[in-house]
Amino acid sequence: MRCVVIREHGAYDRLLHEERPLPEPAAGEVRLAVKAVGLNHLDTWVRRGIPGVRYPLPLVPGCDAAGVIDAVGPGVTSHRAGDAVVLAPGIGCGHCERCVSGSDHLCRAYGIFGESRDGGCAEFLVAPARNFVRKPTALSYPEAASFALTFLTAWHMVVGRAALEPHETILIHAAGSGVSVAAIQIARLIGARILVTARGADKLARARELGAHEMIDYGQKDFGDEVRRITGKRGVDVVVDHVGRDTLDKSLRALARGGRLVTCGGTSGPELATDVRLVFFKNLSILGSTMGSLGELHRIVEHFERGTFRPVVDRVLPIAQVAAGHRALEERQVAGKIVLEMQ
């Protein structure tokens, strides 16, 4: 089979196109014939490498994938060859207390496809049968490959960690990113008032189409000043922040008393410098969030099936242009998801 392989960290030329033997599913596993794979910032981090983090190179990247089940291993009764499915991007051990109680994302052995084991940038992928959910019927394969990681991450942030309520106000940074596109739709479903930040009219217009109420162009105005103006100096109840160093301190200052900041990443840098008195005087909560449970993903798929959520795909590229996709992500030239199509 054809696949993309990272053998060493570095620039775009580290994304190698190779051939490997066709993998065979073991007991409890199925083999997916990949139709499309979505790109995420995680893919760029795996390619570049992160100081202090060891990835099991050589590695096939890609945590979001959709396709058709090609073969099933012994003992699999939940899926059959020919089923159209979406890959659940995270994987736990399947038998520890966390996994069996529905918190598999907290499993000590938890990993992500394309980060801790081979992912979806290949013609075929083998994974446990429990890691596949049905493809929403109305979605194309590129659309189906665009939502699992970002919507799962955003759902757990907004619903599981921040526990956003209908009467509250939420600030969502980087409105053009995959996680924020998902968070806007989830906050709209809940019924909250939604403020977003982004650079440029196009990204803000798309955020409005998805359900945002107040747009802040951080290239033109200070988002902290704008939050105070829009909320009458009260502040917001929840901030979704995955930008990191450039926004975290000001995000905390934008919170109302008792507010919650939830973060899943730091694309601008991992450091947080703030005045701790701000946190305890205003009774603020800083919440970390990574991925979400398989149960949450099943609920998300139901919303896509009903049309409550919709994928936002920036562009679809052939798998041969994976390097161009990485470059566009790193240069923030996207509004939604970049998806690679197997050809």
In order, the DSSP letters of 42-69 are HHHHHHH--TT----SSB---SEEEEEE
Q: Is residue 107 part of a domain?
A: yes
Domain boundaries, position 74: 2-146+311-341
Residue 303 lies in a domain: no
**Same domain, residue pair 162 and 217:** yes
Asked if residue 133 and residue 23 are part of one domain, the reply reads: yes
Distance CA 244, CA 263 (A): 8
| Strand boundaries in the chain, DSSP class E | 2-6, 15-19, 29-38, 64-72, 84-87, 90-91, 111-112, 124-128, 132-134, 169-172, 193-198, 214-217, 236-241, 255-263, 285-288, 313-318, 337-341
Please check whether residues 65 and 108 belong to one and the same domain.
yes
Q: State residue 328's pLDDT score.
A: 94
pLDDT in tens, 218-249: 989 999 999 999 999 999 999 999 888 888 89
* 187 and 257 belong to one structural domain: yes
Give CA–CA dist 19/162, Å, rounded. 44
Place of tokens 């139901």: 302
Digit-coded pLDDT (tens) for 45-64: 999 998 889 999 999 999 99
Total tally of structural domains belonging to the chain: 2
Say whether both 142 and 8 belong to one domain: yes
Give the pLDDT confidence of 298-328 residue by residue, as tens digits.
999 999 999 999 999 999 999 999 999 999 9
* pTM recorded for the entire structure: 0.93
Find the CATH number of the domain harbouring 210: 3.90.180.10
Same domain flag for 140 and 156: no
pLDDT in tens, 148-170: 999 999 999 999 999 999 999 99
Residues 107 and 42 in one domain: yes
- pLDDT above 80 for 268: no
Q: Is residue 75 part of a domain?
A: yes
